[in-house]
């Protein structure tokens, strides 16, 4: 970057330069950064992607919402392909797409939507909880809403247009299929509206034929406002990602008691904030599992300096974070091998996942699965701290896909001369949902079995298959 | 440092307390010319009477306590070394002389004082040999989590009891630097040292080997070895076996014969209980390995290495996965030996156990000791491997010689464990320095470097010993059998 001196490529430099360069260039830069892991960690990736998409949306030349959706979707797929195992990238892309759909649907069909939603609510036997409108709500009506935003949406399913009560009998038939959990193949998720769809055709034709041109003009005028609202929504999303750790830590004292012996898997930013918040009112001990070979250095630095980089590193800075030891917490560093030995005295386990999957399982630094297994063997509760932005709508149908092998040179060097030896350094572990007791998110605590609901609340089912060739 | 008794040992009695004086008076004067423990190697220290020494040591200990309470714990090292130089010898000498105290007069007072002095002397000895990250008593209430462990580790040759044999000295240094590592190696090394000690030992006149050797010679060696690294359970069993043989030595037997007999006892132990046992175990374990197996093992167990090499030599085709961990990284040595012998080897760290365990067909583990309830006491991390195998229904086979069986039962991983110096967990010198400084200032910061852990009996499917293959619940049966043999 001319005139700026050398800056380590990473999140800070990317975000700083985002306004200067053209969109194409910024996109290319981000794809490179992701592919080379110069931006790593779910929070950093989320912020970078959200920042880029915000600019893209704001400067978008799209004339219609559908064009905007297509543009974002294409860029999103390229970003996901750059680093497929960094699920946060895909999460943010899907959130943005869902946001676009939601915002562009607002103000168009409010009355019909509310009428239909009340009808449908009354129909199904299940008690659906009140859903906040500001957080993207999942309802089959979204598909109806999207119908009205674009003149050309041939692939969208037929809308539910049921002006009279008599047809509601069919709606309950359609309802269960729409509420089934979404999965990778989307097999069960497509609602079959055909049993209900008698009036739609007749209803659609007239507005399309007579007011087609009028619609287009209306869209062009309203697209600017829509983009404004989308931009606002995306800034909220960025805030959510930024503040997730703090919001999670607000409930810390609910979960940590005095004289607790807590085992923390590594000391990520979220975990550190959580424990720091609890330390204000509680005295406890934390066993920090080192996480060699990938996270060991960062963990040790976090304990000693309060930040993942030591002051002697290039981009390390003097720790402004108060270290846990300064806050009165007893911190004991233990190697991974000591986990089972220590577990008999541990009262809680804190995990910091890299990604959370829709079935309630999680992906975290290697070694986490044995922490969870040892905790289960000793009946110790396992708490996972993760912002909702880490929650992916994907199901781990093949856990081998999650496996990623890192550099084996970090394995401490060899002793003497070795013959032909296969040295492996896997980076991630998958933990089954049965081993996790509670997810503490910025929206509160949830059981792993409930996460599918939160997924449903935050992502549109059309976006789930984004970037995956299924 | 000669193991030969000094003839100028008229001087030492002045340094000793009342007890040693009275002991020496009860033993004939010639005792001083024999292997009676010599107090110090510094003849220039002032000669105080025993009572004065006792008073001084007590006062020093109280002053140290007061200073520690007042918050000045960092100054223990330099000042402590000077005036307290003679007490460590006394301390270790005290321990060695516990047994014959019965004959000494004023034994009640002696016992009390010796205990107190011993504690004081030992803790002072801790400070003197300046190992950084030493757990000096802190002024703030000690909320360190694992303070039951002493992490004293002797790494220098200062202030050692003069009776320690040079072979034992060298062995101790090898122990504390992990050059000799692994329970079998340590046991054999220790027994070989004892052979040298016995060879160089002479019975003082008017004394018997049975009564004199243990308290006056052997105990000093054992204490020194313990100060280098706590003895393993197998080593403890071996020492007990040797002591049993010593006390049974006929007083009428001439010295040369008695010594030859003891050397033979040691040789028999090594040959029967260790080497021959290993051969039997190897044969039994190799029979369990089939072509196409994927064997997973942890760290570096000597017996497992023998099993794998033997299986390979017999033409079996299998893959070995070696799982390793900090801080000792012992698995690397195993990988080196296996891969250079032509075995197909893989290497991972213990954190990756969930990735390699699904492929494994068997798990072979070595043992530090077997507890009476079938729990496996072994290198830390073994329990993690055992749990991972148990979860996936992979058979877990432990190879353990019978001399490592103990009638003790530990219920958790802390009892009987050994704490290694924290700095071994930190990779670079600069980091060690930074952590050391921080831990001195902040007692809340600790690094836990345990060396052993306890694997529950249900994770172990079979134990292979020289007395047969048995389930973990049969450990007490083996113990009774061994007891019956010894009787």
pLDDT tens digits for B100-114?
A: 434 434 444 444 444
Query: Is A303 in the B-facing interface, judged by CB distances under 8 Å?
Result: yes
CATH 1.20.120.420 boundaries in chain B: 166-276
Query: Is B250 in the A-facing interface, judged by CB distances under 8 Å?
Result: no
B396-399 β-sheet, strand order: A421-423, B344-349, B318-324, B293-298, B362-366, B396-399, B462-465, B468-470
The answer to whether ipTM exceeds 0.85 is: no
Q: Say what the pLDDT of residue B215 is.
A: 87
Tens of pLDDT along B343-364?
999 999 999 999 999 999 999 9
Q: Say what the pLDDT of residue A231 is.
A: 87
Residue B412 contacts residue B373 (beta carbons within 8 Å): no
Tens of pLDDT along B128-149?
444 444 444 333 344 556 666 6
Q: Say what the pLDDT of residue A468 is.
A: 52
Residue B39 contacts residue B86 (beta carbons within 8 Å): yes
> Mean pLDDT lowest for which of A120-134, A438-452, B22-36, B285-299?
B22-36
Closest CA to A354 of A257, A440, A429: A429
Closest CA to A371 of A341, A333, A400, A410: A341
CB contact under 8 Å between B448 and A330, yes or no, is no
Give the residue carrying structure tokens 């961990």. Answer: B325
Quick check: B93 pLDDT over 80?
no
Closest chain A residue by Cα to residue B382: A337
| Average pLDDT score over residue span B76-99 | 39
Q: Say what the pLDDT of residue B96 is.
A: 38
Q: Say what the pLDDT of residue A255 is.
A: 94
Residue B66 CA to its chain's centroid (Å):
33
Q: Which domains, ranges and CATH numbers included, belong to chain A?
A: 11-108+223-243 (1.20.120.420), 250-463 (3.40.50.10470)
Query: What is the CATH code for B287-414+450-486?
Result: 3.40.50.10470
The radius of gyration computed from the CA coordinates of chain A, to the nearest angstrom, equals 25
CB contact under 8 Å between A416 and B438, yes or no, is no
CATH 3.40.50.10470 boundaries in chain B: 287-414+450-486
The larger pLDDT score, comparing residue A463 to residue B29, is at: A463
Q: Say what the pLDDT of residue B306 is.
A: 95
Give the whole-angstrom CA distance, residue A362 versus residue A358: 9
Give the whole-angstrom CA distance, residue B341 versus residue B26: 61
Q: Which residues contact B317 (CB under 8 A, 6 or more apart)?
A: B291, B292
Going along A247-325, which residue ranges are E strands? 261-265, 285-289
Give the residue carrying structure tokens 């960094």. Answer: A86
> Mean pLDDT lowest for which of A116-125, A439-448, B249-258, B425-434?
A116-125
> Mean pLDDT lowest for which of A289-293, B148-152, B294-298?
B148-152
Strand partners, B378: B453
Residue A209 CA to its chain's centroid (Å):
41
Give the residue carrying structure tokens 């190897």. Answer: B282
Q: Name the stretches of chain A with pLDDT < 50.
A: 1-4, 106-118, 120-128, 130-210, 469-470
Give the whole-angstrom CA distance, residue B310 versus residue B219: 39
Residue A149 contacts residue A105 (beta carbons within 8 Å): yes
Q: Say what the pLDDT of residue A18 is.
A: 77
Tell me which chain A residues have a C-beta less than 8 angstroms from the C-beta of B332: 412, 414-416
Quick check: B59 pLDDT over 90?
no
Q: Which residues contact A83 (CB under 8 A, 6 or more apart)?
A: A34, A35, A37, A45, A89
The larger pLDDT score, comparing residue B258 to residue B31, is at: B258
443-472 in chain B: CB under 8 A from chain A? 444-450, 452-455
**B365: distance to nearest CA of chain A, Å?**
15
Residue B450 contacts residue B418 (beta carbons within 8 Å): yes
For residue B457, what pLDDT band results from cuts at 50, 70 and 90? very high
Cα–Cα distances in Å, from B391 out to A363, A433, B361?
19, 16, 13
Locate A345 and state its tokens: 């005295």
b or e along A33-58 (b: 16 or more beta carbons within 10 Å of the residue's beta carbon)?
Answer: bbeeebbebbbbbbbbbbbbbbbbbe
How many CB pairs (< 8 A) connect A and B?
169
Q: Say what the pLDDT of residue B238 is.
A: 94
Give the whole-angstrom CA distance, residue B400 versus residue B274: 10
Tell me which chain A residues have a C-beta less than 8 angstroms from the C-beta of B438: 304, 325
Strand partners, A384: A351, A439
b or e along A236-268 (b: 16 or more beta carbons within 10 Å of the residue's beta carbon)?
Answer: ebbebbeebbebbbebbeebbeeebbbbbbbbb
> Mean pLDDT lowest for which of A210-214, B2-6, B179-183, B464-468?
B2-6
Give the whole-angstrom CA distance, residue A156 versus residue A173: 20
- Mutation for testing the B interface, residue in A283, A335, A344, A400 having most B CBs under 10 Å: A335
Query: Phi/psi class of residue B95: alpha, beta or left (left: φ > 0; alpha: ψ in -120 to 50)?
Result: alpha
Closest CA to B418 of B176, B163, B118, B206: B176
Q: Say what the pLDDT of residue A251 is.
A: 92
| Average pLDDT score over residue span B272-294 | 95
| Average pLDDT score over residue span B425-434 | 83
What sign has the CA pseudo-torsion B183, B184, B189, B194?
positive
Predicted structure pTM score: 0.72
Q: Which residues contact A76 (CB under 8 A, 6 or more apart)?
A: A53, A90, A93, A94, A96, A97, A466, A467
Give the whole-angstrom CA distance, residue A29 versus residue B273: 67
Locate B227 and state its tokens: 């100060």
CB contact under 8 Å between B348 and A425, yes or no, is yes
> What CATH class is the domain B166-276?
mainly alpha
**A85: distance to nearest CA of chain B, Å?**
17
């Amino acid at each position: 970057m001319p005139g700026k001196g050398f800056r380590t490529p990473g999140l800070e430099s990317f975000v700083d330069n985002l306004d200067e360069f053209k969109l194409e260039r910024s996109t290319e830069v981000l794809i490179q950064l992701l592919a080379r892991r110069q931006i790593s960690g779910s929070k950093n990736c989320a912020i970078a992607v959200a920042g880029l998409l915000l600019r893209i949306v704001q400067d978008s030349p799209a004339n219609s919402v559908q064009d905007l959706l297509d543009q974002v979707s294409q860029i999103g797929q390229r970003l996901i392909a750059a680093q497929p195992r960094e699920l946060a990238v895909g999460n943010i892309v899907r959130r943005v797409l869902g946001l676009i759909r939601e915002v562009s649907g607002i103000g168009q069909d409010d009355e019909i939507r509310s009428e239909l939603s009340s009808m449908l609510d009354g129909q199904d036997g299940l008690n659906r909880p009140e859903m906040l409108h500001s957080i993207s709500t999942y309802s089959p009506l979204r598909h109806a809403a999207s119908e009205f935003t674009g003149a050309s949406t041939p692939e969208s399913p037929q809308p539910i247009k049921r002006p009279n009560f008599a047809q509601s009998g069919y709606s309950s038939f359609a309802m269960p299929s729409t509420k089934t959990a979404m999965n990778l193949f989307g097999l069960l998720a497509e609602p079959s509206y055909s049993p209900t769809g008698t009036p739609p055709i007749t209803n659609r034709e007239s507005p399309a034929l007579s007011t087609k041109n009028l619609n287009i003009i209306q869209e062009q005028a309203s697209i600017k406002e829509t983009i404004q609202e989308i931009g606002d929504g995306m800034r909220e999303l960025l805030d959510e990602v930024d503040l997730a750790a703090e919001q999670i830590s607000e409930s810390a004292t609910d979960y940590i008691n005095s004289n607790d012996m807590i085992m923390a898997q590594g000391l990520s930013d979220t975990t550190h904030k959580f424990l720091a918040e609890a330390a204000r009112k509680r005295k406890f001990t934390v066993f920090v599992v080192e996480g060699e070979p990938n996270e060991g250095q960062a963990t040790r630095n976090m304990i000693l300096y309060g930040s993942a980089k030591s002051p002697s590193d290039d981009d390390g800075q003097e720790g402004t974070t108060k270290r846990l030891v300064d806050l009165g917490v007893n911190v004991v560093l233990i190697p991974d091998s000591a986990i089972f030995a220590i577990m008999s005295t541990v009262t809680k386990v804190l995990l910091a996942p890299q990604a959370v999957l829709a079935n309630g399982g999680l992906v975290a630094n290697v070694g986490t699965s044995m922490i969870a297994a040892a905790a289960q063997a000793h009946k110790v509760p396992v708490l996972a701290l993760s912002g909702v932005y880490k929650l992916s709508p994907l199901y781990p149908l093949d856990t081998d896909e999650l496996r990623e092998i890192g550099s084996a040179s970090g394995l401490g060097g060899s002793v003497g001369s070795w013959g032909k030896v296969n040295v492996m350094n896997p980076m991630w572990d998958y933990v089954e949902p049965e081993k996790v007791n509670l997810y503490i998110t910025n929206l509160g605590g949830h059981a792993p079995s409930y996460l599918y609901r939160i997924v449903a609340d935050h992502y549109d089912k059309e976006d789930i298959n984004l970037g995956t060739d299924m | 440092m000669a193991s030969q008794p000094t003839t100028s040992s008229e001087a030492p009695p002045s340094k000793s307390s009342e007890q040693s004086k009275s002991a020496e008076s009860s033993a004939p004067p010639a005792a001083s010319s024999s292997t009676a423990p010599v107090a110090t190697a510094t003849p220039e220290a002032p000669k105080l009477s025993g009572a004065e020494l006792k008073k001084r040591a007590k006062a020093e200990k109280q002053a140290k306590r007061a200073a520690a309470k007042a918050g000045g714990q960092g100054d223990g090292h330099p000042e402590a070394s000077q005036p307290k130089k003679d007490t460590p010898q006394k301390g270790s000498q005290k321990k060695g002389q516990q047994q014959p105290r019965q004959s000494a007069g004023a034994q009640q007072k002696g016992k009390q004082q010796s205990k107190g002095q011993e504690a004081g002397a030992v803790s002072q000895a801790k400070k003197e040999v300046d190992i950084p990250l030493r757990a000096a008593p802190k002024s703030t209430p000690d909320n360190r989590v694992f303070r039951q462990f002493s992490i004293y580790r002797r790494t220098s040759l200062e202030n050692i009891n003069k009776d320690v044999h040079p072979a034992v000295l060298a062995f101790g240094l090898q122990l504390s630097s992990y050059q000799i590592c692994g329970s079998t190696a340590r046991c054999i090394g220790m027994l070989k040292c004892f052979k040298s000690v016995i060879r160089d030992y002479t019975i003082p006149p008017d004394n018997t080997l049975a009564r004199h050797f243990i308290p006056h010679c052997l105990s000093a060696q054992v204490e020194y070895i313990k100060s280098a690294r706590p003895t393993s359970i197998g080593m403890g069993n071996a020492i007990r076996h040797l002591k049993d043989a010593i006390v049974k030595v006929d007083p009428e037997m001439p010295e040369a014969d008695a010594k030859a007999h003891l050397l033979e006892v040691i040789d028999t132990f090594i040959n029967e209980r260790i080497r021959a046992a290993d051969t039997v175990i190897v044969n039994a374990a190799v029979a369990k390995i089939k072509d196409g197996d994927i064997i997973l093992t942890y760290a570096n167990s000597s017996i497992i290495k023998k099993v794998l090499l033997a299986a390979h030599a017999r033409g079996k085709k299998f893959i070995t996965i070696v799982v390793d961990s900090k801080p000792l990284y012992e698995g690397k040595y195993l990988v080196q030996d296996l891969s250079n012998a032509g075995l197909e080897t893989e290497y991972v760290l213990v954190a990756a156990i969930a990735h390699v365990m699904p492929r494994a067909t068997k798990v072979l583990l070595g043992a530090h000791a077997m507890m009476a309830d079938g729990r496996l006491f072994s290198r830390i991390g073994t329990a993690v491997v055992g749990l991972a195998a148990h979860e996936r229904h992979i058979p877990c086979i432990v190879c353990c010689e019978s001399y490592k069986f103990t009638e003790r039962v530990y219920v958790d991983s802390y009892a009987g464990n050994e704490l290694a110096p924290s700095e071994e967990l930190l990779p670079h010198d600069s980091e060690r320095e930074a952590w050391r400084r921080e831990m001195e200032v902040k007692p809340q910061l600790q690094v836990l470097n345990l060396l052993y852990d306890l694997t529950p009996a249900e994770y172990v499917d079979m134990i292979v010993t020289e007395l047969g293959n048995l389930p973990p619940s049969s450990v007490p049966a083996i113990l009774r059998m061994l007891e019956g043999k010894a009787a």
